[in-house]
Amino acid sequence: MRLSVLDLIDVRTGQTAAQALRASRDLIEAADRLGYHRYWVAEHHNTPAVASTSPAIELMYLGQNTSRIRLGSGGVMLPNHSPLAVAEQFALLANVYGDRIDLGLGRAPGTDPVTSAAIRGQLTGSHYVGPDGRPVDPVEEFPRHVREIQALLSAEGAAVRLPRGQVRELRPAPDLPHPPQIWLLGSSDYSAQLAASLGMPYVFAHHFSGQGTRRALDLYRGEFQAATPAQTPITFLSVNVSVAEDEQEAWELAEPHMVSMARLRTGAGLDPAPLVGAHARSLLTDHFRDVIAPTVDTWAVGTPAQVGDRLRRLADEFEVDEVMLHLVAGARPEDAPDVWPARRRTLELLAGVL
Burial class (CB within 10 angstroms; exposed 0-12, middle 13-18, buried 19+) of 161: exposed
Per-residue CA distances from 44 to 6, 10, 12, 115, 228 (Å): 13, 10, 15, 10, 35
Q: Domain boundaries in the chain?
A: 2-351
Q: Are 65 and 25 in contact (CB under 8 A)?
A: yes
Q: pLDDT grade, residue 126 (50/70/90)?
A: very low
Q: pLDDT grade, residue 110 (50/70/90)?
A: low
The pLDDT tens digits for 4-23 are 999 999 999 999 999 999 99
Q: pLDDT grade, residue 131 (50/70/90)?
A: low
Residue 108 has pLDDT above 90, yes or no: no
d(CA 328, CA 257): 6
Average pLDDT of the chain is 93
Question: What is the structure's pLDDT at 181?
Answer: 98
d(CA 71, CA 73): 7
Output the CATH code of domain 2-351.
Answer: 3.20.20.30
Q: Are 254 and 330 in contact (CB under 8 A)?
A: yes
State if pTM tops 0.75.
yes
Helix H or strand E segment including 59:
helix 55-62
